[in-house]
Structure 1
Amino acid sequence: MPRIGSKLRELRRRRDLSVRALAARSGISHSTISLIERDRMSPSVDTLGAMLDALGTTLTGFFSDLQSSLPYSPFYASANLVEIGKVDTISYRVIGLDHPNRQLLMLHERYALGADSGEEFTHTAQEAGMVLSGMVEVTVGNQKRILNPGDGYYFDSRLPHRFRNVHNGHSEIVSAITPPTY
């Protein structure tokens, strides 16, 4: 987690506000603001939100700007992909989980024989993917299709959806979800 104090201090100074003036605008005590700016205290989401509102910015804008300057490597070895699934049935390996500006969830999915994502589910995003090997039955809303290697999908994830391996072995998909809400 990046230190946010210096960024908050920079925003306050850019607006030519004293700590006491920001305290009066935000309803946060001047001593708390001072501790936060010196990274001696981590603010709650509510406290940070109140400070940012008083400074005329948003949580999203503050963190996207803050993270854009963090160093990272654009390359990820297979051994370094983080597993977030159920390895014995469905493996979801994330590409770029530690990327500081990640606005996309990129997955290498591997479905065991008979694996099923379970009941249809929804989340606020868009999803796209391509079957690399095997055969996967994809259900989106009231539509269902068996996809073979090279076949793909793209849908609004607010629609109920489900994935099921219908191949007599493992199936693999590479997929992307934005924003990364799964």
Structure 2
Amino acid sequence: MEFPKEEVGKRVRYLRRLQGLTSDELAKLTGVSQSMISQIERGQVSPSLETLWKLSHSLKVPVFSFFEPEESNAVTICRSGEEKLIKRVRPNVSYQLLSPGTGKQMSFFKMVVEPGEELDTPFMYHSGEECGIMLCGSIRIEVEGETHMIYEGDSIYFDSSLPHRFMNTGKVDAVAIWAMTHSF
């Protein structure tokens, strides 16, 4: 299976234009050359994970938003079993998108974190807010230097602009329903 560079490029261009940025302005924000931004947007190159991360931070959107098709419907129903599965950000984390996250101010998804602690997992931060409820298992969430454990039935809220990361230190898959807001 090939990396969907054309679709990713279209999404980068769409999100950049949605925020009123030129390709030169986005290049300066990300620390990537303007020609690289142009090549990504035209689907000529596959951006590295590091470049996607920089674009995500600069455009203030989750990394997985680059892999979503554009949605323009006012009402969207996600039928059971038809959720979009996204497993690109971390190898032990998968997301089932339960809402259209593209161009919307909020994303809603089911998150499954497989057991396994990765101490070198980078901190994430982006504009918006996040909240979630654990359906089963537990995860450790670090938010701006503070560690929090949430267990089955617990919920959490935090400001997404604070550096954060999470990991499953247990023995079973941790499953949560998560929502996050976006600023466009």
TM-score range, shorter chain: 0.5 to 0.7
What RMSD, in angstroms, separates the aligned Cα atoms of the two structures? Answer: 3.3
Cα distance, 1:169–1:122 mapped onto 2, change above 3 Å: same
Query: CA shift at 1:115, angstroms?
Result: 5.7
Equivalent residue number for residue 109 of structure 1: 111
SS at 2:126 equivalent: coil
Q: Structure 1: which 4+ aligned runs deviate by more than 4 Å? A: 70-73
Q: Which runs of 5+ in 1 are unaligned?
A: 1-43, 50-66
Equivalent residue number for residue 65 of structure 2: none
Identical columns (%): 22
Cα distance, 1:77–1:115 mapped onto 2, change above 3 Å: farther
1:13-92 equivalent positions in 2, closer than 5 A: 45=17, 71=73, 73-86=75-88, 89-92=92-95
Per-residue CA distance 1:93-132 (angstroms, 9 max, x = gap): 1112278x73211110001121659211111111111111
Does the alignment pair 1:126 with 2:118? no
SS at 1:79 equivalent: coil
* CA–CA separation in structure 2 for the residues paired with 1:122 and 1:81: 25
Per-residue CA distance 1:31-87 (angstroms, 9 max, x = gap): xxxxxxxxxxxxx949x99xxxxxxxxxxxxxxxxx9xx645542123221122248
* Structure-1-length-normalised TM-score: 0.55
1:147-166 equivalent positions in 2, closer than 5 A: 147-166=150-169
* CA–CA separation in structure 2 for the residues paired with 1:98 and 1:144: 28
Does the alignment pair 1:174 with 2:177? yes
SS at 1:78 equivalent: coil
Equivalent residue number for residue 66 of structure 2: none
* CA–CA separation in structure 1 for the residues paired with 2:75 and 2:178: 21
Number of aligned residue pairs = 118
Cα distance, 1:107–1:148 mapped onto 2, change above 3 Å: same
Code of the residue aligned with 1:164 in structure 2: it is M
SS at 1:113 equivalent: coil
SS at 1:136 equivalent: strand
* CA–CA separation in structure 1 for the residues paired with 2:124 and 2:17: 28
Query: CA shift at 1:166, angstroms?
Result: 1.5
* CA–CA separation in structure 2 for the residues paired with 1:156 and 1:93: 22
Q: Which runs of 5+ in 2 are unaligned?
A: 1-15, 22-69
Cα distance, 1:71–1:142 mapped onto 2, change above 3 Å: closer
Cα distance, 1:75–1:155 mapped onto 2, change above 3 Å: same
SS at 2:81 equivalent: helix
Larger Cα-atom Rg: 1
